[in-house]
């Protein structure tokens, strides 16, 4: 017990702790997304999206990591099918670990990747035959290049809509296509705020002179992954945390008592996060859409 508390009464340790705190700085999810980093350690195909199940009735109990990775390749295929002019350059915005870009490279498509996340850029730059990768937020991306296709594969939700439309307008070739796959909120009110409101996207499409060349609600096809994640939380993570808590009570009852407020705050935060992957709630409040937008060719 003495050993546990001694750093709190040691001035040298306290100064060092303060310096460490200053050096570590504020957590900026855009440049160092720890959640995506965690997923990238679990899945080994460098894809960080929910995948696409052809069989929408696949039960979560029968999905292995291999099945999930296959579903992610299928998702990449669905996107690749929408690239019509394969000779023009493609930009993969918010490329994650570069899985989709690499998949497109194997199809002979000239793709460049972009991410603001330093873990992702470091990883992609170490790949032997990886894509050219730009390290930038898309909203701040400066380039003279123009692209025939721009892809936002589960990345639009992280971007500011107005700035993104302005940027895409600037770098898309006439007649170019913009492929978007992502979660959207059906209404303003939602128990979890991830994803843009679908009405906001539709307004911007009109305002910026784009037309919808193709659209599909692929919620049923991503739902098996959501059910799988929810099952893991429900059947492994929650029981495991209860087990750890009970064990903690018996091993260090005094510490258990003193950390009550911290544990409660973690519990409230986790409950909120779990709501985002609750399948029934997702269907009620959100949609997972595939949009292909096309820029009108200006008449001469």
Ligand X SMILES: C[S@@+](CC[C@H](N)C(=O)[O-])C[C@H]1O[C@@H](n2cnc3c(N)ncnc32)[C@H](O)[C@@H]1O
Q: Which residues lie near ligand X (CB under 6 A)?
A: 30, 33, 36, 47-49, 93-96, 99-100, 114-117, 120, 137-139, 153-155, 158-159
Q: Shortest approach of ligand X to residue 133 CB, angstroms?
A: 11
Residue 134 Cα to chain centre, angstroms = 18
Cα distance between residue 40 and residue 50, in whole Å: 13
Q: Shortest approach of ligand X to residue 36 CB, angstroms?
A: 6
Q: Which residue, 120 or 278, is less far from ligand X as judged by CB? A: 120
Q: Which residue, 222 or 223, is less far from ligand X as judged by CB? A: 222
Q: Which residue, 200 or 256, is less far from ligand X as judged by CB? A: 200
In SS3 terms, the chain reads as CHHHHHHHHCHHHHHHHHHHHHHHCCCCCCCCCHHHHHHHHHCCCCCCCCCCCCCCCCCHHHCCHHHHHHHHHHHHHHHHCCCCCCCCCEEEECCCCCHHHHHHHHCCCCEEEEECCHHHHHHHHHCCCCCEEEECCHHHCCCCCCEEEEEEECCHHHCCHHHHHHHHHHHEEEEEEEEEEEEEECCCCCCCCCCEEHHHHHHHHHHCCEEEEEEEECHHHHHHHHHHHHHHHHHHHHHHHHHHHHHHHHHCHHHHHHCHHHHHHHHHHHHHHHHCCCHHHHHHHEEEEEEEEEECCCCC
Q: Which residue, 153 or 278, is less far from ligand X as judged by CB? A: 153
Contact 60, 231 (CB under 8 A): yes
**Residue 216 token pair:** 């599909």
Q: Which residue, 81 or 246, is less far from ligand X as judged by CB? A: 81
Q: Shortest approach of ligand X to residue 271 CB, angstroms?
A: 22
Q: Shortest approach of ligand X to residue 115 CB, angstroms?
A: 4
Q: Which residue, 36 or 233, is less far from ligand X as judged by CB? A: 36
Q: Shortest approach of ligand X to residue 281 CB, angstroms?
A: 20
Q: Shortest approach of ligand X to residue 163 CB, angstroms?
A: 9
Q: Shortest approach of ligand X to residue 43 CB, angstroms?
A: 9
Q: Which residue, 114 or 179, is less far from ligand X as judged by CB? A: 114
């Amino acid at each position: 017990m003495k050993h546990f508390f001694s750093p709190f009464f040691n001035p040298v340790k306290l100064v060092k702790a303060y310096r460490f705190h200053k050096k570590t700085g504020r957590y900026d999810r855009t440049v160092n997304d720890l959640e995506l980093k965690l997923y990238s350690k679990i899945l080994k195909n460098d894809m960080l999206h929910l995948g696409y199940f052809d069989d929408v009735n696949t039960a979560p109990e029968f999905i292995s990591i291999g099945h999930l990775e296959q579903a992610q390749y299928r998702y990449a295929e669905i996107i690749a099918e929408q690239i019509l002019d394969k000779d023009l350059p493609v930009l993969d915005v918010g490329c994650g670990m570069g899985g989709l870009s690499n998949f497109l490279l194997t199809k002979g498509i000239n793709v460049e990747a972009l991410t603001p996340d330093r873990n992702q850029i470091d990883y992609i730059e170490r790949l032997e035959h990886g894509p050219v990768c730009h390290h930038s937020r898309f909203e701040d991306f400066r380039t003279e290049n123009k692209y025939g296709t721009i892809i936002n594969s589960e990345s639009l939700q992280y971007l500011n809509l107005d700035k993104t439309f302005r940027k895409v307008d600037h770098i898309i070739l006439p007649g170019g296509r913009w492929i978007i796959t992502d979660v959207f909120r059906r209404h303003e009110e939602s128990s979890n705020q991830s994803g843009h409101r679908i009405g906001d996207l539709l307004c911007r499409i009109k305002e910026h002179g784009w037309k919808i060349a193709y659209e599909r609600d692929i919620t049923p096809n991503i739902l098996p992954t959501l059910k799988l994640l929810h099952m893991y939380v429900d059947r492994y993570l929650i029981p495991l945390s209860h087990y750890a808590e009970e064990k903690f009570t018996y091993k260090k009852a005094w510490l258990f008592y003193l950390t009550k407020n911290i544990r409660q705050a973690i519990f409230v935060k986790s409950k909120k996060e779990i709501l985002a992957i609750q399948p029934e709630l997702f269907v009620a409040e959100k949609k997972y859409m595939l949009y292909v937008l096309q820029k009108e060719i200006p008449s001469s």
